[in-house]
Structure 1
Amino acid sequence: MPDDRRSSPLALLVTRNFPPLLGGMEKVNQHLLAALQPTWRTALCGPAGCPEYASPAAEVRQCKVKPLPVFLAVTLWHAVHLAWRRKPEWVIAGSGLTAPIAWLAARCAGGKVAVYLHGLDIVASSRAYQWLWMPFIRRCDLVLVNSTNTARLAQGRGVRSDKLHVLHPGTDLPELDANVAHDFRERHGFGQRPLLLSVGRLTQRKGLAEFVAKALPAIVSRHREALLVVIGDEASDALHTRTGSERERILAAARDAGVEKNLRFLGRCDEATLGAAYQAANLHVFPVLELPGDVEGFGMVALESAAYGLPTVAFAVGGVSDAVREGRTGTLVESGDYGRLGEAVIRQLAQTRDGLATAICRDFAAGKAWPVFGERLRKLLGAPNV
């Protein structure tokens, strides 16, 4: 049967947030590019190393991510040149950062422009960003956001509601294997200790230093063997970081609180190890902070946790409420109330992870799986039924 892909329209994704960079935004954009392919030929302007993580059929241009002005300038040249030659139907900015580039490329091609907003790219405190970037975001034909909270932030910055659509990030729905969980515990010497799991890059916003100082001591007083297992590395490639080591801040908090023996860092793990950790843990903790100029747009790790049947205890900040269904897949606590947060963890550790609780979590995750994300994306972009 002849391949008619050459006659298909083109969609161009322009983004800094794409693997090999790590994080939820990068994962979303990788799946976004893949979700376009049933309908569109695809092209990508992204960070150095991105061709390895894109479809072999995609036309790719890459640039080193630092310094940022160089990335923006080179990516602008790549995107406009590619758009002028290939005439994409859609140019999509993977975050607000590349919205001006996507808008200019779309205008060169006579195409339409969309942007996917994650939260941070709306509340950025830079005056230059608010004056120069936000007008391009408002001019996009379609504005996709990762949560209802991000939608509120966008409307507060003047994005018209008729352009605005919530498109939750997705998750995989893995097979569960009790042997994998057992092997993980044995390999790391955890035995039958109650395991609290934290997953994600080590940033101030994740709130682990405060959790260790203000909630973990009370948890340990009730469950002496409880262990907080932290998976993730320093966020060296992130745009929003503070100086110094977040890992050292967490360790210092643990030493000061007398709970250093109840903390274990595993660093960056491969997908198999991460999946084993989700299955072996008793609870996922997500004590995200509310910080000026910073926001948790969605909370993908809470959704991934649910996909493994693991409940989450979290602060109800940013878009986390879209990723945790209160009373079903976890418990949401008012921001900053470490007493109630600790009580929720203690209460959850007293319960056994049974088949019904696991099924409830996984059913919630299935409703937000990556195929659901892709189907809704294509619908919003006006793709015909495929």
Structure 2
Amino acid sequence: MRVVLDVQGNWRAATRLYGSSLRNLLNPLSDLLGRIAVRRADAVRTIGPYTTRLVQELGRDPDATLPTYVDSVAVSARPPAPVPDAPCALFVGVLERYKGIDTLLDAWPLVLARIPNAMLRIVGRGRRSVRVAAEAGPRLEWTESLSNEEITQAIDDSSLLVLPSPMEGLGRVTIEAFARGRAVVGVRDGGTADLVEDGRNGLLVGAGDSHQLADALVRVLGDHELAVQLGAHALESTEGWLLEPDAWAARFASILGGPHR
């Protein structure tokens, strides 16, 4: 049986990000398991430059780099809608600390102090749902889940996507937002920076810095012309990341069908 290691993020995050002293004891084990998996797999697939670097740090080049699958038909079924006049930020993801949701929640009151009519829409569920539910209100809307079509509509209804995760492997939702002509506000760490060019198709801030995040959100939400400009460049940025389903499947099948080690 051929074993393909699919590297979609930083496996070290579970013990290093927000790690307690007890979790830190697991760091050597996490590193060891990562090295063993990378070296023994018949093939290694990464999803972008960030995950490629993680694999190369362990002494191996990936056998293939294939972006995370995005349903190109669904996100491109209709032309992108114009950026709405009403300022709205969208977060889509698991509600866990490693996704940066706490940084976003800390930043949002700072945004509202400067743009009182701004709206934050959060889509997702997880262990931070309790805090999200407690802070939901007229300017913060929370939905646990949406269909793919509903997520596309939610992106169209927003001025930008915010992705504060410091260890994102690539960020499928970033590609989806680009395909709908929306800017992305993310962090410089992780794979987000492989997609977002600061000042061109979005803005990048320091990981875990709620004040920087608030400033970036205010900059885009408070300037409709800038949101439109960044969104136009975002739409151009899908080249190379958005593949037709048959093309993506063929490339993935070639990875599965290669030789054994």
* TM-score (norm: length of structure 1): 0.55
Structure 1 residues 334, 176: CA separation in 2 closer, same or farther (over 3 Å shift)?
Answer: same
Matches within 5 A, 1:99-118: 105-106=1-2, 113-118=3-8
Q: Is the 8 A contact 1:176 1:279 kept in 2?
A: no
Aligned-pair CA distance for 1:142: 2.3
- Which secondary structure does the structure 2 equivalent of 1:306 belong to? helix
* Separation in 2, partners of 1:347, 1:230: 20
Aligned-pair CA distance for 1:281: 0.3
Structure 2 regions of 5+ residues with no counterpart? 16-25
Output one character per residue of 1:345-381: Cα deviation in whole Å (capped at 9) or x when no partner: 1111133267764442222114311336446546667
Query: Aligned-residue CA RMSD in angstroms?
Result: 3.0
Structure 1 residues 212, 139: CA separation in 2 closer, same or farther (over 3 Å shift)?
Answer: same
Number of equivalent positions: 240
Residue 281 (structure 1) aligned with residue 162 (structure 2): no
* TM-score (norm: length of structure 2): 0.78
Residue 261 (structure 1) aligned with residue 138 (structure 2): yes
Q: 2:79 aligns with which of 172, 176, 181?
A: 176
Higher relative contact order, structure no. (Cα contacts within 8 Å, ≥ 6 residues apart)? 2
Structure 1 residues 246, 116: CA separation in 2 closer, same or farther (over 3 Å shift)?
Answer: same
Q: Which protein shows a greater Rg?
A: 1
The amino acid across from 2:49 in the alignment is T
Structure 1 residues 320, 306: CA separation in 2 closer, same or farther (over 3 Å shift)?
Answer: same
Aligned-pair CA distance for 1:128: 5.5
Q: 1:339 aligns with which of 211, 227, 249?
A: 211
Q: 1:248 aligns with which of 88, 105, 130?
A: 130
**Identity level (%):** 26
Q: Is the 8 A contact 2:160 2:184 kept in 1?
A: yes
- Which secondary structure does the structure 2 equivalent of 1:370 belong to? coil
Output one character per residue of 1:316-365: Cα deviation in whole Å (capped at 9) or x when no partner: 12111123232222111122332222111111113326776444222211
- Which secondary structure does the structure 1 equivalent of 2:190 belong to? coil
Output one character per residue of 1:288-313: Cα deviation in whole Å (capped at 9) or x when no partner: 14xxxxx3211211111111111111
Matches within 5 A, 1:365-376: 365-371=238-244, 373-374=248-249, 376=251
Aligned-pair CA distance for 1:147: 2.4
* Separation in 2, partners of 1:207, 1:160: 30
Matches within 5 A, 1:44-193: 105-106=1-2, 113-121=3-11, 125=15, 126=26, 130-131=31-32, 134-156=35-57, 158-161=58-61, 163-171=62-70, 172=72, 173-174=75-76, 175-176=78-79, 178=81, 193=86
Matched with 2:103 is 210
Q: Is the 8 A contact 2:5 2:37 kept in 1?
A: no
Aligned-pair CA distance for 1:195: 1.0
Q: Is the 8 A contact 1:232 1:266 kept in 2?
A: yes
* Separation in 1, partners of 2:55, 2:14: 12
